[in-house]
Amino acid sequence: MENDGRRPYVPGDVETKWQDRWEAEGTNTFSTEELRDPRNTYYNLMMFPYPSAEGLHVGNIYAFTGADVHGRFQRLQGKRVFEPIGFDAFGIHSENFALKMGVHPMDLIPSNVANFTRQLRRIGGMFDWEHTVDTTDPAYYKWTQWVFLQLFKAGLAERREGSVNWCPSCKTVLANEQVIQGLCERCDTPVEQRVLPQWYFKITDYAQRLLDNLEEIDWSDTTRKAQQVGVFTTRPDTIFGATYMVLAPEHPLVPQITTPQHRDEVETYQAAMKKMDLVARQKTDKEKTGVFTGAYCRNPATGEAIPIWIADYVLMGYGTGAIMAVPGHDQRDFEFAQKFGLEIVRVVAGPGDDADTALEEAYVGPGSLVNSGQFDGMDVEKSKRKITEWLAEQGLGEPQVNYRLHDWCISRQRYWGPPIPIIYCDACGAVPVPESDLPVVLPRAEDFKPDDSGVSPLARVESWYQVDCPECGAAARRETDVSDTFLDSSWYFLRYPNTDLDDRAMDREITANWLPVDCYIGGNEHAVLHLMYARFITMALKDLGHLDFDEPFTRFRAHGLIIREGAKMSKSKGNVIVPDPIIEEFGADTFRLYLMFLGPYEEGGDYRDEGIYGPFGFLKRLWDTMHQVVSDGEAASGAPDPDVERKLHQTIQQVSEQIPELGYNTSIAAMMEYLNAVRAGGRMACRSEVEALVPMVAPFAPHMAEELWEALGHGGSVFDGANWPSFDPAKTVDETVTVAVQVNGKVRGTIEGPAGMDQNAAEALARATDNVNRHLEGASVRRVIWVQDKLLNFVVG
């Protein structure tokens, strides 16, 4: 079927027309009054991008399109969908890029944001441009600072010593991302640790709640697992085998317990450790090092005196920074004990072992206890609880849960971030900036390069940091560190519906109407930190009375990754696709459809350049078919073909069920299959057969859907009201079925019959089939398996 001179499909014209109309009519934006309307709300969130100088890349578009498809689908169900987007523009990325290009970030970011905005409009997302957010805008970070102050007042922000990465060659503080295998990413110099006072958020106070709540939220399993704060169990069962103790080198007890004759050695070791960065130190394959402190302690179980060592393989940041070493049953302890000639005792006997079987390496398998006093012979698993109880009774310790979660250090000795709103006064100490004085505006410093002072470049802007103490009025000094970008993004979703307000961070009524977020879609790379921080801030703000809910995201789904030529798209691999020319040639609708068709949305897909012709052809055929129906007028108004109608209802059912589950690729395939069936053999479609395709394709190809909806004579937007088609379950049922006939499990033919026929009827049909008969000849049928409307299997002997 060809176009026959009907209207050709020119994507650019259609898309410009509808983008302009949506904007002129405010189709996707909410007024403050509309935000106060609590009816039928749906908050559709996607992770806001960092506006790079390169512009939007395919990965961004993939993420936003998938989320937008979800939002548009909800809208077609009659929901009032709020779908905001913004810019996460503070942070080291922008700062480094600005340094490299010799442009000030305050000049760079606005042009990047403008470019992103242009591109985002072009892909046809349902974004509410009246409620956008830019984290570098003082009108936004005023409230980021407000969040800090709330936590500070609640005692959840605390200043204490912490170590930072320091490159002695570049003479600058490095972010963790800039440390590559223990070396500075720029000059390959080994990175050292410097201890500086820093601000921490006490997220560990919320560890149990962060863990418990995971039960209640609808998140994909993999993300939920990634959030597991990491509860671990110790090995109380092996305590009788503890033959020495190890402290982390930086453990505070070390100076107190070290005996004079070991002091030099210990201090030398500590100094060496201090220089080594954590990444290098934590390499598993590195040979273990350590020194003896000269001190002894008692094994609580055996009462024996055992030596205390310090060693690099014990980390201060984890647990208590001290371990009872059980070389018999822990490989790390075993290696250490062997190297330094410490005693190795077996306390677990595996199959075939007895109490004296020598150990070649640490034994970590199952077995029963030996050399363990009254617990000898007990099964390892069982003994864990028993020994814990016994130790508790003796007052020697109690069961404790440890979390693999550290407090959140939010200080950055950098320029490009929101200043931390604290003022230091000699008399009053650390004083919070009064809320009425917010925002503390980041001054424009022409020289924002980090230097060898080890503090933020803001410490060079004297006119800015010199202030009077808000409490006593004496000369005081601002905090010159800025806060972590993750703080900006830990609450942005709370601000979106509230950007109309400039006198408070959020309005109770509006917030209650829209939050928590109904659906959040984003990348897996943020499945741990960003989501954890956002959940923590939400919980803290709830406890402080600012919110009425605990969990910010009711449902979270991570999308997959787009691969091209066997690798993730990156500039260094040279496999990046620039979206603009593709949208220019095929249109945003085709590009959206293609990206969603590549593979399962939650798994990503393999981008092949020629693949776009498939979805492009589909949209063109859909366009031609709809215009043919329109131009045929009366002729196309007849009743649908019964077979086509059945398939239509099946397709509507399939697509309606799959889209909310993010089954985009299979939904698109179902629509293609249906259109193929409608047009099979060049037949002419009638209107009732194809009209429902328009709202169904609308989430993927919104511009074309609008255009076709209008061409079909409907007034207004296809997205106004609940235009999603419904299906009649009775009409999805096939009248005739094809049943596979097997002999001994191998397909030997098929039979056609009325749906619901009984086994006898099916057998009769099957026995009338030549090929089936041939296989049944001379054999005795021992059994017949009958699966209604599906399969008939003769089991012959």
Nearer to RNA, 313 or 363 (CB): 313
By the rule CB under 7 A, 220 interacts with RNA: no
- 683-742: contacts with RNA (CB under 7 A): 738-740, 742
By the rule CB under 7 A, 79 interacts with RNA: no
DSSP 436: G
Token pair of 322 as six digits: 């001290």
* Least CB distance to RNA at residue 644 (A): 15
Of 716, 681, 677, nearest to 693 by C-alpha is 677
By the rule CB under 7 A, 783 interacts with RNA: yes
Contact pattern from residue 271 through residue 300 relative to RNA, giving x for each residue in contact according to CB under 7 A and a dash for the rest: ----------xxxx-x-x------------
**CB burial readout 321-335, b (16+ within 10 A) else e:** bebbbbbbbbebbbb
Nearer to RNA, 109 or 772 (CB): 772
Q: What is the separation of C-alpha 386 from the centre of its chain, rounded to a whole number of angstroms?
A: 40
Q: Give the containing element (helix H, strand E) for 7.
A: none
Contact pattern from residue 312 through residue 341 relative to RNA, giving x for each residue in contact according to CB under 7 A and a dash for the rest: xxxx--xx-xxx--x---x-x---------
Return the residue of 208, 222, 259, 637 that touches RNA, per CB under 7 A: 222
* Least CB distance to RNA at residue 332 (A): 4
- 408-437: contacts with RNA (CB under 7 A): none
Query: Which range of residues in 89-97, 468-476, 521-529, 705-713 is near RNA by CB under 7 A?
Result: 521-529
Return the residue of 353, 471, 645, 673 that touches RNA, per CB under 7 A: 673
Decide: 298 and 396 in contact? Cβ < 8 Å. no
**How far is CA 88 from each of CA 93, 112, 560, rounded to the nearest angstrom?**
11, 11, 21
* Least CB distance to RNA at residue 399 (A): 13
By the rule CB under 7 A, 398 interacts with RNA: no
Of 320, 191, 190, nearest to 246 by C-alpha is 320
Of 3, 21, 44, 9, nearest to 706 by C-alpha is 21
Nearer to RNA, 444 or 790 (CB): 790
d(CA 22, CA 582): 23
* Least CB distance to RNA at residue 465 (A): 34
Decide: 383 and 370 in contact? Cβ < 8 Å. no
Q: Give the containing element (helix H, strand E) for 70.
A: helix 58-76
* Least CB distance to RNA at residue 370 (A): 19
Decide: 708 and 624 in contact? Cβ < 8 Å. no
Nearer to RNA, 111 or 282 (CB): 282
Nearer to RNA, 203 or 438 (CB): 203
d(CA 24, CA 479): 46
- 25-44: contacts with RNA (CB under 7 A): none
* Least CB distance to RNA at residue 567 (A): 8
Q: How many residues bind RNA (CB under 7 A)?
A: 87
By the rule CB under 7 A, 557 interacts with RNA: no
Q: What is the CA radius of gyration of the chain?
A: 34
Return the residue of 153, 225, 444, 504 that touches RNA, per CB under 7 A: 225
Burial of 600 (0-12, 13-18, 19+ CB in 10 A): middle
- 228-267: contacts with RNA (CB under 7 A): 230, 232-235, 248
**How far is CA 205 from each of CA 66, 200, 209, 340, 483, rounded to the nearest angstrom?**
36, 12, 9, 39, 20
By the rule CB under 7 A, 746 interacts with RNA: yes
- Torsions phi, psi of 610, nearest 5? -75, -15
Query: Which range of residues in 197-205, 507-515, 523-531, 690-698 is near RNA by CB under 7 A?
Result: 523-531
Q: What is the separation of C-alpha 579 from the centre of its chain, rounded to a whole number of angstroms?
A: 24
By the rule CB under 7 A, 587 interacts with RNA: no
* Least CB distance to RNA at residue 570 (A): 11
d(CA 325, CA 348): 15
Q: What is the separation of C-alpha 277 from the centre of its chain, rounded to a whole number of angstroms?
A: 28
Taking each helix axis as running N to C, give the angle between helix 664-679 and helix 642-658, from 0 to 180 degrees, rounded to the nearest 10.
Answer: 170
- 674-693: contacts with RNA (CB under 7 A): 676, 679-682
Return the residue of 591, 618, 709, 719 that touches RNA, per CB under 7 A: 618
* Least CB distance to RNA at residue 329 (A): 9
* Least CB distance to RNA at residue 278 (A): 7
How many beta carbons lie within 10 A of that of residue 648, not counting itself? 25
Angle at 493 between CA 695 and CA 219, to 5 degrees: 70
Return the residue of 429, 613, 638, 660 that touches RNA, per CB under 7 A: 613
- 748-767: contacts with RNA (CB under 7 A): 748, 750
* Least CB distance to RNA at residue 177 (A): 12
* Least CB distance to RNA at residue 279 (A): 8
- 590-609: contacts with RNA (CB under 7 A): 597-600, 603-606, 608
Return the residue of 25, 525, 548, 728 that touches RNA, per CB under 7 A: 525
Q: What is the separation of C-alpha 38 from the centre of its chain, rounded to a whole number of angstroms?
A: 29
By the rule CB under 7 A, 581 interacts with RNA: no
Nearer to RNA, 232 or 452 (CB): 232
Decide: 698 and 721 in contact? Cβ < 8 Å. no
